[in-house]
Amino acid sequence: MARLYKQCRFFRKRKIEIARYGLRFLNNLDTTEAKETEREEIQDCEVPAPVSDILDLPGILDLDDFDPDPVFWKSLDFISGIP
């Protein structure tokens, strides 16, 4: 009797899942769940791009050509203008 009760619970849960996916048959649910699991595994395996690939760090960190206007230095309250 307990086994029959467990089976009924199992099929009720599966029925809800079938309705959630808008499917008509239990074997379609198995296929859909397998695809969803595969999609989740692929998303978990994706590695985000390193920050250095996203930003042009050499261009950002290259301050050799940085020559701001003397007005900029005066706005920072430097006495002689350029430090």
CB 4 within 8 A of CB 11: no
Q: Which of the pair, 42 or 81, is modelled with greater confidence?
A: 42
pLDDT digits (tens, 9 = 90+) for 32-67: 889 999 988 887 777 766 665 556 555 555 666 666
Res 9: pLDDT: 93
What token pair was written down for 21? Answer: 């996916």
DSSP letter for each residue of 18-57:
HHHHT-SSHHHHHHHHHHHHHHHHHHHH--PPPHHHHS-H
Res 54: pLDDT: 59
Of the candidates 5, 25, 4, the one whose C-alpha atom is nearest the C-alpha of residue 15 is 25
Q: How far is CA 23 from the centre of its chain?
A: 28
What rounded mean pLDDT belongs to the chain?
Answer: 77
Whether the model pTM is above 0.75: no
